[in-house]
Amino acid sequence: MKYRSLGRTGIEVSSVSLGGAYLMGPDESRQEDTARAVVECAQQLGINYIDTAPLYGNSEKLLGRVLVGMASEFHVSTKVGFDPDNFDYKRDSVLESLERSCRRLGVEQLAVAQIHEVDKAGGQRILEKGGTLEGLRAAQERGLCRYIGITGRAIPLLSELAATGEFDVVLFYHDYHPCVQLAGAALLPTAAEQGMGVVAATVLGGGLYVAGAAQEQALGKLGSAAERRRAIEILARLAEEDGTLPQAAFRYVLADERISTASSGAANPAQLREVAEAADMEPLTQETMEYIAEV
């Protein structure tokens, strides 16, 4: 496993990290066993950054159980929002949410506390007096978190918030992988200028790089016929590379030095091992990178 700096935080994070949305697996009767197996696998692979959220089912509670005795080996991050459903993103609600998360996770301090889906909160509510940012700052003062961040798919708003210099980390999902580079236009340059840590999530594009039914469904969700044709051409080119399609997607993202870590939403140890290997593989060939840029 290779490690990169999480921006100006100075934290060294594994270039492939673990997302908490699916670590419990599909079998409800075996959720804790599955989560334990995934986290233990992460530990063995040298993965040291875990990102979760109250929205991810009982992910926080499961992590709280399985991290007993090894929580200090991970940088654990979570989010505020959607807990409860009518979460108002105000200062006091932020503090209460982070206190609940720390109890569920069994940690005294989070590495990063983030705003879950900045468009849900809205830029004005985030920055206004008594708003979300003020709550995150208060959480830092109380020792609930070391650093603060923003997350979502609202690339323009994420870019605007990143430009304020108030936030240490940005997490985006779905919008940066071989077939989609939306985050690369404004957000990544702004984050780099501000020295922010960058977490790229959903690198597999919701199944786009997983052969079979998942890929067909993901292709069907693309916005236009032209996008689908472009994706099919890129997927065919990636298939010519060494390794698997999931590994190719991670290798593409990790070729961008502005990315601190690429998050894997693995639902079992095998999925995690597969993409973690990408951290130690050679980059995609220059010809493939140029082909993707041209297409």
CATH number (domain holding residue 105): 3.20.20.100
Decide: 47 and 12 in contact? Cβ < 8 Å.
no
Question: Which residues contact residue 110 at a Cβ distance below 8 angstroms, ignoring those fewer than 6 apart?
Answer: 76, 77, 78, 98, 101, 102, 144, 145, 146
Task: Return the amino acid letter for 58.
Answer: N
pTM score above 0.85 = yes
% of the chain with per-residue pLDDT over 70: 100
DSSP 75: E
Residues annotated as part of the active site: 56
Question: Which residues contact residue 284 at a Cβ distance below 8 angstroms, ignoring those fewer than 6 apart?
Answer: 238, 241, 248, 251, 252, 255
Query: What count of residues does the chain have?
Result: 295
Q: Name the domain count of the chain.
A: 1
pLDDT at 237: 96
Residues 182, 294: Cα–Cα separation, whole Å: 15
Short-list 21, 83, 73, CA closest to 263: 21
Is the alpha carbon torsion for 51, 57, 61, 65 positive or negative? Answer: negative
Range of the domain at 202: 3-294
Decide: 245 and 2 in contact? Cβ < 8 Å.
no
Residue ranges, the chain, pLDDT below 70: none
Q: For residue 53, with 0-12 CB atoms within 10 Å meaning exposed, 13-18 middle and 19 or more buried, which class applies?
A: buried
